[in-house]
Amino acid sequence: MTTAEIAAKLDAHDPLAPARDRFLLPAGTVYLDGNSLGALPAKVARTVGHTITKQWGEDLITSWFRGGWLRLPLTVGDRIGRLLGAGPGQTVVGDTTSVQLFNALIAAARLRPGRRVLLMDAGGFPTDRYLAASAARLLGLELREAPMDRFAEAVRAAGDQLAVATASAVDFRTGELWDLAGLTRATHDAGGVVVWDLSHATGAVPLALDRDGIDFAVGCSYKFLSGGPGAPAYGYVARRHHDRLDHPLTGWHGHADPFAMEPSYRPADGIARYRSGTPHILSLVALDAALDAFCDVEPEQIRAKSLSLSAFFIDCVDEHLAGRGFDVVTPREPQRRGSQVTLRHKDAEELMATLIERGFIGDVRPPNLLRFGLNALYVSHADVLATVRELHALT
């Protein structure tokens, strides 16, 4: 079979093919950058429009109660929680990923007073590293960094001084998927608390936060969840920590009775205390509508399609781009892949700029990496083959 015949056969038997109609994709564009900004779900504009014209325009301030605005951070949180393998009442939506991560790092460290080490993934996303350094300075902790292939070793080396270990579930450059359950167990064996950044995993990789004993997790909602540019992030806190949770940003929406206007902070019960300030309603409504794309789709279906797309991408690179200066950076072992394929090429920036001009959208990361995000809900095997053929034509 030719690669074209293989692509046609795989797409013809794709159970997720109907989901593509739930997104508004520009004609003539192959969009492989959903790991940076997801495509626009068809329901979003209509839903946000209703919120603006009816709830805000007509119902005005009463929409905080009649329209359910006040509870959106919790109700949308539970919808994301389903994709995280988290039971209800453990996920809240609001603020940015940076704010959520800062809150999680501080709150996690406060669960382990007297311990002095905060361990960070040495290859983590820059914001995560900046925030970990800031949290360490504020709390007087020693910040240590370790590459992910030696992270468990670093956890054991920290021993009874380990307060918090934090890392990304998927490497943002290479798309490598790490062992969340195993590294969480290692952290717990040392007596520490773990904080995972799931930004490149949520909506693409099946997760089991409750089953795997994850303590804290954060993630953005504008990548594989397609919540829109700057969509609010989420924070997960395992139920077992709720009663002891000492949230650093004690805003009025995390108060037990926000409208009592009490002079002193009294935390709400459960995950509600993890809220801070007034939520961004229009962004939350957009995210809520975007999540409808997942309503009848199981994470395992998404994973199966994602792995098929990435395996086919790598096969196409091997067949069509051999000898043209490309190296596959993403692991070839399926269990080690997230939902992207990264290629190395000395002319990465120039190649991607030309690809985008021709309607094939991915992105680059320094110094020489081309990234292609594979959202299983709207990317096809034909899209993958067309992209690789275009790279062949350019080199």
Query: Which residues are identified as catalytic?
Result: 125, 197, 222-223, 371
200 is in an annotated binding site: yes
Backbone CA torsion sign across 243, 248, 250, 253: negative
252 is in an annotated binding site: yes
278 is in an annotated binding site: yes
> In 3D, which of 243, 246, 183 has the Cα closest to residue 213?
183
97 is in an annotated binding site: yes
Pairing of strands 142-146, 369-373: unpaired
Strand partners, 176: 337
127 is in an annotated binding site: yes
> In 3D, which of 52, 77, 78 has the Cα closest to residue 67?
52
**Strand, helix or coil at 328?**
strand
Distance CA 237, CA 257 (A): 21
250 is in an annotated binding site: no
Distance CA 112, CA 314 (A): 44
- Contact present, 209 and 238 (Cβ < 8 Å): yes
202 is in an annotated binding site: no
- Contact present, 221 and 80 (Cβ < 8 Å): yes
197 is in an annotated binding site: yes
Local structure of residue 59 (DSSP, 8 states): I
Amino acid at site 4: A
128 is in an annotated binding site: yes
**CA 57 → CA 49, 304, 308, distances in Å?**
10, 44, 46
174 is in an annotated binding site: no
98 is in an annotated binding site: yes
Give 171-190 as a DSSP string.
Answer: -TTT-BBP-HHHHHHHHHHT
> In 3D, which of 99, 35, 89 has the Cα closest to residue 337?
35
Give 106-173 as a DSSP string.
Answer: HHHHHTSTT--EEEEETTS-HHHHHHHHHHHHHHTPEEEEE-GGGHHHHHHHHGGGEEEEEEESB-TT
Tokens of 273: 């205390």
Distance CA 51, CA 43 (A): 12
- All residues at 6 or more sequence positions from 322 whose CB lies less than 8 Å from its CB, including other chains: none
Which residue, chain included where needed, has tokens 């594979």? 374
- Binding-site positions for pyridoxal 5'-phosphate read 97-98, 125-128, 197, 200, 222, 252, 278
- Binding-site positions read 97-98, 125-128, 197, 200, 222, 252, 278
